[in-house]
Amino acid sequence: MTKILVTGGKGQLGQCLQSISNDFKTLDFVFLGSNDLDISNNIEVEAYFKNNTFDYCINCAAYTAVDKAEEEQEKAKQINEIGAKNLAHACFKNSVTLIHISTDFVFDGTAKLPYTEEDRTNPISVYGKTKRDGELAIISNLPEHFIIRTSWLYSEFGSNFVKTMLRLSEEKKELSVVDDQTGCPTYAKDLAEVILKIIDSQSKKFGIYHYSNQGQITWYDFAKEIFKQSKADINLYKTDSKTFKTLATRPKHSVLNTSKIHSLLKLEPIQWKKSLETCLTQINK
């Protein structure tokens, strides 16, 4: 059996991994939340890895409150950078392969084409910077790693854009959503399956990969489709980033080129509308 540690096991991606873990009969999982293992505490991390044996560590633990990170910079750094560094050290010492989840926020959003893994990072928020620094810490300390950048993550678990829109559609008669930020939503369960397929394939093609569902849309487009599929009775209007001010600056264009990971795993691209439909079915259950 391949033994896998999942940090951040109580977040939405961790819960998605748990929900499909029984489909992978040769994989044995341990799911830990932040109360079980504080990845920012190096002594705690070192001791845990010394006392337990793993083949892989999937790091889903992250500080993801994008706006709050502007005010809690040290906290974001401790989890996103120091935590990643601690796991990389422990994985290196104990011959564990690390699969680390990163983000489209490592880019500044000024590109006209989808970002490839080779494109230069240039984060424009504290969240993006701490995630980029976490990537660099892993690259510096651990040769055998996979870094998977993803975007606009949502699922039936935790807090996310889809569940927020569904809640607002019950509370409000009308809503304005920004229409000047372009990206692609990613159903966390699709990402979870990709991660486990990497492990199942025993691939040694380490490095950075991009994964999202397929298509380019704005947050307005996403909200519109959520309301259409859920048959919500709400009037939706377009706004822009200047009108809808937030503490953190978001990338205007953060579409990811996913051809590298599709080639590695011989995957068929999944269109974002189809995955949204699957997620809404799970939420309705």
Active site (catalytic) residues: 127
State how far the Cα of 78 lies from the Cα of 81, in Å rounded to an integer.
Answer: 6
Evaluate whether 115 touches 151 at the Cβ level (below 8 Å).
no
Beta-bridged to residue 98, according to DSSP, are 57, 145
Sheet with 207-210: strands ordered across:
27-32, 2-7, 56-59, 97-103, 145-150, 207-210
Q: Can you count the helices (H) and strands (E) in the chain? A: 10, 12
Q: What is the CA radius of gyration of the chain?
A: 18
Q: Are 279 and 154 in contact (CB under 8 A)?
A: yes
